[in-house]
Amino acid sequence: AQSVAQPEDQVNVAEGNPLTVKCTYSVSGNPYLFWYVQYPNRGLQFLLKYITGDNLVKGSYGFEAEFNKSQTSFHLKKPSALVSDSALYFCAAWGYQKVTFGTGTKLQVIP
């Protein structure tokens, strides 16, 4: 069965410091992986995706993610965190006709 894991419920980082939000996956075949962000009382917004090609994927708002096939990971990163990055982040993967989401990681950027 397909699964996506986000091992950290919450990540705290100081403003200006680099941030990492972790994601690991278990899918059959070639993985199609995504990161979404959710601000309070809003729907999810697409950040970036990995389909094929370069292992480092760049997305919206300065975020990037590194695909590592051997570690089955797809960690979200940003070189310098902003207070406005504080939100709930979801990792997701397409399976056959269905998307599996992780449980989400709350990112808190401290001024």
Partner 1 sequence: NAGVTQTPKFQVLKTGQSMTLQCAQDMNHEYMSWYRQDPGMGLRLIHYSVGAGITDQGEVPNGYNVSRSTTEDFPLRLLSAAPSQTSVYFCASSPSWGRDGNEQFFGPGTRLTVL
Return residues touching partner 1 (CB under 8 A). 9, 32, 34, 36, 41-46, 49, 51, 90, 94-99, 101-104
For residue 105, the minimal CB distance to partner 1 (Å) is 10
Q: Which is nearer to partner 1, 39 or 84 (CB)?
A: 39
Query: Closest Cα partner for 29 from 58, 67, 2, 8?
Result: 2
Smallest separation, CB 57 to partner 1 (Å): 12
- 49/77 with CB nearer partner 1: 49
Least distance CB 51 / partner 1 (angstroms): 4
Nearer to partner 1, 48 or 109 (CB): 48
Helix (H, G, I), strand (E, B) or coil at 9: coil
Distance of CA 103 to the CA centre of its chain: 11
Identity of the residue, 6 or 86, whose beta carbon is nearer to partner 1 in the bound complex: 6
Token code pair at residue 36: 């979404």
- DSSP letters, 29-98, are SS-EEEEEEE-TTS-EEEEEEE-SS-SEEE-GGG-EEEEETTTTEEEEEESS--GGG-EEEEEEEE-SS-
Q: CB of residue 42 vs partner 1: minimum separation in angstroms?
A: 6
